[in-house]
Structure 1
Amino acid sequence: MGGATGSPMDVSALTAIDVHVHVHASVGAPADRHERLEGMSDYFRAGKVSQYTVPEIAEYYRSRRMGAVVFGVDTLADGDAPGRPSNEEVAELAAEHRDVLIPFASVDPARGADAVARARRLVDGRGIRGFKFHPNLQGFFPNDREVYPLYEVLQEHGMVALFHSGHTGVGAGSRGGQGCG
């Protein structure tokens, strides 16, 4: 590994690959970042970990001889919230750290036809290897037939679909869980 960014991942040099790493902060995010993060950091006893940017995540995992699947979570309710990384940012920065990072994208199925169009744009030449879905936050059931056109795009391109299931720490420690979970 030797800290060489941009080199292909050498799986034999890794001790593990973490397949569930949220990127909550854009490299251009303000210092206070996102209000949900403080409660989540307390809940998961993670300190600043849950607030890392893609380059910070890469360094964290590289120092531990580990790889990571990285992604943000797109939610229609939050729109393009300031401070959150876009799918394009995650893909671009993960490519710079491909020795330890594998980029996934996220599109909220509630976007309907726009979700399908976004997925098609993301699978073409961006290095995305799969898609992360968060039914609790995105407000859908994975077996809902209305989501099938989105899944068909993933299937056409051989993409992995990763689903968060069960409990979520989003909204932890806040009144009403901020409507999450």
Structure 2
Amino acid sequence: MIDLDKIRAIDIHTHAEEPCGCHSDDGYDDLQSTMARYFGAPWQHPPTIPETAAHFRAQNIAAVIFPVDAERETGYRRYSNDEVIELVRENSDVLIPFASIDPWKGKMAVREARRLIEEHGIKGFKFHPTFQGFYPNDRMAYPFYELLAEHGCIGLFHTGQTGVGSGMRGGNGMRLKFSNPMYLDDVAVDFPDMKIIMAHPSFPWQEEALAVAQHKPNVYIDLSGWSPKYFPPILVRYCNSILRKKVLFGSDWPMITPERWLADFEKIDIKEEIRPDIIKNNAARLLGLM
């Protein structure tokens, strides 16, 4: 269990990666290495979950961690949710598991999600509209959302541009249009009891994301995927004011390390009294840890 008194921050956005070499038949290693160059990631091979836990433990930071299932759209084999959960359970002092199931799997997705919630207590699910190839307000995903709302689970959605496929031929088939945060406004209306996190500063749709988060009580923003030194001024202004209880620290590990993100966060113009909420307390409340 996470001891809130002992950790200095909660990272709401980290990725579970399989050991290098598991993807020789489907091209995923090429995708990973290209993303690592895009982000300037400080590793040769993606870290395993135990390695991730050790890193965060050394930094005294807790983290929400998840795989991303995009098998239908990409052909990349997914990292089993059950395997992730098992490894996270062994490191529950610093890691909190979310799951990922491609919503295109329909009834199969709902069945798996229900099992993970009821048998393993999963509190949230990661969606990546660009990687999975769907508009968040597509009605095919609504039975999945109904389950999340029923159980008080969180839906964490990638928004904005992505490093996935950036610089690859044709963007590796990834279509940016799916991740406009305005599509989540429909989801927030249709599922007002489902907590929604819009991941990342949502370039080039930052103002749309801020509008949705301000207007819909069930919508939050995580600040992962960007060094804070690149945050647009309007995002910093909203963090300091009307969204101060709705913005969350996230690194996007392993592409960005949490210590790098936090060091850069110290250098931007955020009010001192607001910083503890952004890096820890807002996430703790959302996750039901306090």
Q: TM-score range by the shorter chain?
A: 0.7 to 0.9
Aligned partners of 2:81 and 2:100 also within 8 Å: yes
Structure 1 segment 24-43 matched on structure 2, within 5 A: 24-26=17-19, 29=22, 34-43=29-38
Mapped contact 1:92–1:126 kept (Cα < 8 A) = no
Whole-angstrom distance in 2 between the partners of 1:77 and 1:33? 13
The AA in structure 2 aligned to 1:77 is E
> Normalising to structure 1: TM-score of the pair?
0.85
- How many pairs are equivalent? 172
TM-score normalized by the length of structure 2: 0.55
> What is the match of residue 73 of structure 2?
77
CA 1:79–1:128: 2 relative to 1, 3 Å: farther
Q: 1:88 to 1:79 in 2, by over 3 A?
A: farther
- Structure 2, unaligned runs of 5 or more: 176-290
Equivalences for residues 11-160 of structure 1 within 5 A: 11-26=4-19, 29=22, 34-48=29-43, 51-75=46-70, 76-79=72-75, 81=77, 84-160=78-154
Query: How far apart are the structure 2 equivalents of 1:30 and 1:148?
Result: 31
Instruction: Please provide the CA RMSD for this pair.
Output: 2.3
Q: Which has the higher contact order (CA 8 A, sep 6+)?
A: 1
Distance 1:97 1:27, change over 3 A: farther
SS in 1 for 2:29: coil
Work out the CA distance in 1 between the residues paired with 2:23 and 2:139: 39
Deviations 1:85-115 (A, max 9, x none): 2111111111111111010000111111211
Tell me the distance in 2 between the aligned counterparts of 1:27 and 1:85: 12
